[in-house]
Structure 1
């Protein structure tokens, strides 16, 4: 793709003023996102925070997203609202040819995401905040797998159980961890990042059999634990385990190939390379208990990045300089398909094939939504340290 020189400052409106929205605003105000400024914010009520932005940075406040978009003072919007409103707000912005950066997930379901993508015109940039694609460790893992160094992938395994969330995380929200407000729990909130990176590096499975536990550790109606078995088109197998109920939890991601194995464990990356491929050694050796010689390398990655700022900078550059997106919104369908397939497999107690029948899943989700309601928020005051939320 040919890149052009920068033309102007991109005016951004932020819809929502919750924790993640404030982080995006701070990144832009602190000039960690080149070529962008915040020109407007939107929340249901004007509050001390919005008044602060007006007084300190001359940022206008709106109480309805349509008014913000219609005012024509923004080139793009960041949508950082509860999941249940993603579809409605993004659809309106896209129909007005306003560029959209949408917080994950792309919708309550991949069916909803597919409909939303149909609203995008050739004039608009539509991106998703899949920030973990910029993690230097995961980027290195993808480079290694894509290089063919591992040979044919035989098995994948990610145990991601350090997404622990205490009860207050749910109590102070009326929408979180409800079918009506979020369309799920662990899989569509926390682990959607892992599922995205999983398929981004290893590819999409074609069959999934999952066992989800609903409200096992928390007073919620949606899943807070999952164990899922995967099969890939080349015959490889996989396992994904996630939980928000374990402490301290585990974060280990293994990719086993015929020629080498790649292992990620709590931020540390190692590569074991066979002297000859496993299949070749197995056929040629006369040693009954033999094993190919291996060379182990610990891969040191010292680089640290502001993941959200990198994705936002790329979004701005895509608008202004036609730069290729790191995380186009369409890429959000794959991880959501996997999450939806895991839930459908549990509900139906059967193996689910991919590509997912998105209409079938939506029908099942609609039944859950029909019997779901938002909770009454607790009056307890939660201590919020957003840096502690990232794993």
Structure 2
């Protein structure tokens, strides 16, 4: 018996939504039919797809035309739209981040009905290189992790990126900048592979490279329960930028840079060699292996197919919505540490952070959108 298509409504029809729509109509996402679209203005796209256009998300959700929604609206509206959909017992795929804050995200997770699938578009979990790094760490071959370091300054954004949007890079509309937009993927992978730190001490620069009120450069120092340390550096103002991710263990290390993944394994643990060698300038012998892959995957389609299979067959979600809380906790903690000039402990006091964000939002406003014509190549947006 053929699997029945889910009836998908897409709320928000911007750049990323168009990519999801293309994945469905091209067949990259299986067992899924778009039956409704929602945006303030009807572009005629719904008619082309044989779907119904709605101008209000409530009307789409209440229509009976959908059993599932994909929410790809500005971050400001994630909470209210997702809340409404979950309360109507629909399945929900939400674009990142899960909310303006992890407090909002936690409230949404609490609302999710037991029989509804609630997932987040954390697509970089399907990247073959990051999946390989996670596999290496979980194998234990590197021993106990001692230090982590990710410099991700390869998120360069020119001014027009912000000018053509009224909500981006505002406390009111996005709840932050670099951390909750671009680097939320990196922070998710960082904690997915290396674990959640116990303390954060951070330094953010606000509007250093752009005429925006939120952070566009970040340096964060992390400390873990086992006394491992970490550093995360991000920027949207550097060109060409750097993307280097290092994980150092007692038995060796793994390094990602420029698409290349390298593993270095010592012939004995660093601690053991340090304690027992009589060579004053000695080093353990090391074996270097190239673990790089040239495999290319459609990350968004993999996440959507997994979501559809979860609905039909209760397949375990690659990125359940609750998993989006950890990276947002880290992002929120980095901002809080920088604002208060003090170390922040995790688990994060989410209500306390929300109060701080509310203060920022009260003095924030959405910007006036520029009428400039922006050239959009979504493939160039991914790093």
TM-score by shorter chain over 0.5: yes
Q: C-alpha separation between the residues in 1 aligned to 2:300 and 2:6? A: 17
Measure how far apart 1:46 and its partner are: 1.2
**Other structure's SS at 2:303 match:** helix
Q: Does the Cα contact within 8 Å between 1:209 and 1:352 map onto a contact in 2?
A: yes
Say which of 35, 41, 54 aligns to 1:39. Answer: 35
Q: C-alpha separation between the residues in 1 aligned to 2:105 and 2:331? A: 13
- In structure 2, stretches of 5+ residues that fail to align are none
Give the CA RMSD over aligned residues: 0.8
Measure how far apart 1:260 and its partner are: 1.3
Say which of 261, 277, 281 aligns to 2:273. Answer: 281
**Other structure's SS at 2:360 match:** helix
Q: C-alpha separation between the residues in 1 aligned to 2:151 and 2:2? A: 42
Measure how far apart 1:299 and its partner are: 1.1
Cα deviation code 1:299-331 (max 9, x no counterpart): 131211000000000000000111000000000
Q: Does the Cα contact within 8 Å between 2:36 and 2:54 map onto a contact in 1?
A: yes
Which residue does 2:162 correspond to in 1?
A: 170
Q: C-alpha separation between the residues in 1 aligned to 2:355 and 2:30? A: 43
The answer as to 2:321 corresponding to 1:325 is no
Q: Does the Cα contact within 8 Å between 1:230 and 1:239 map onto a contact in 2?
A: yes
Measure how far apart 1:208 and its partner are: 0.2
Q: C-alpha separation between the residues in 2 aligned to 1:300 and 1:105? A: 29
Which residue does 2:45 correspond to in 1?
A: 52
Cα deviation code 1:136-189 (max 9, x no counterpart): 000000000000011000000000001000000000000000000000000000
The answer as to 2:58 corresponding to 1:62 is no
Cα deviation code 1:205-249 (max 9, x no counterpart): 000000000000000000000000000000100000000000000
The answer as to 2:218 corresponding to 1:226 is yes
Say which of 24, 49, 52 aligns to 1:28. Answer: 24
Cα deviation code 1:328-358 (max 9, x no counterpart): 0000000000000000000000000000000
Which residue does 1:160 correspond to in 2?
A: 152
Say which of 357, 374, 383 aligns to 1:365. Answer: 357
Q: Does the Cα contact within 8 Å between 1:138 and 1:197 map onto a contact in 2?
A: yes
Measure how far apart 1:6 and its partner are: 6.8
Q: C-alpha separation between the residues in 2 aligned to 1:359 and 1:299? A: 42
In the comparison of the two structures, how many residue pairs are matched?
383
Which residue does 1:204 correspond to in 2?
A: 196
Measure how far apart 1:104 and its partner are: 0.3
Q: C-alpha separation between the residues in 1 aligned to 2:87 and 2:376? A: 35
Measure how far apart 1:135 and its partner are: 0.1
Q: Which runs of 4+ in 1 moved over 4 A?
A: none
**Other structure's SS at 1:132 match:** helix
Which residue does 2:182 correspond to in 1?
A: 190
Q: Does the Cα contact within 8 Å between 2:259 and 2:292 map onto a contact in 1?
A: no
Which residue does 1:17 correspond to in 2?
A: 13
Q: Does the Cα contact within 8 Å between 1:110 and 1:336 map onto a contact in 2?
A: yes
Q: Does the Cα contact within 8 Å between 1:6 and 1:321 map onto a contact in 2?
A: no
The answer as to 2:146 corresponding to 1:150 is no
Which residue does 1:266 correspond to in 2?
A: 258
